[in-house]
Amino acid sequence: MTALRQRAIRELEMIPEDKISLILQIMQGVNGLYNDNQSERKETFAKLEQLRRKGTAADYDAELASYREEKYGK
């Protein structure tokens, strides 16, 4: 256990019993924020992976022409 964690536990032990529920709510909120950021990050990365095109073309001029046709219709 790290020194910081030990210090936090000592502080928690000094809190009156009627205030513990407030501390628990704060801790759960902080934990929820961290977990949400991680899941949001994973979802965003998955979306980016879906959008990414895998290049397998050997003829880059033809591929560029294809993209231009797709985008501009020329």
pLDDT (tens digit per residue) in 28-71: 888 776 666 677 778 888 888 877 766 665 788 888 888 899 88
Q: Is the model's pLDDT at 2 over the cut of 90?
A: yes
Q: CA-to-CA distance for 16 and 60, rounded, in angstroms? A: 70
Q: Which domain holds residue 21?
A: 3-72
Q: CA-to-CA distance for 37 and 60, rounded, in angstroms? A: 39
Q: How many domains does the chain have?
A: 1
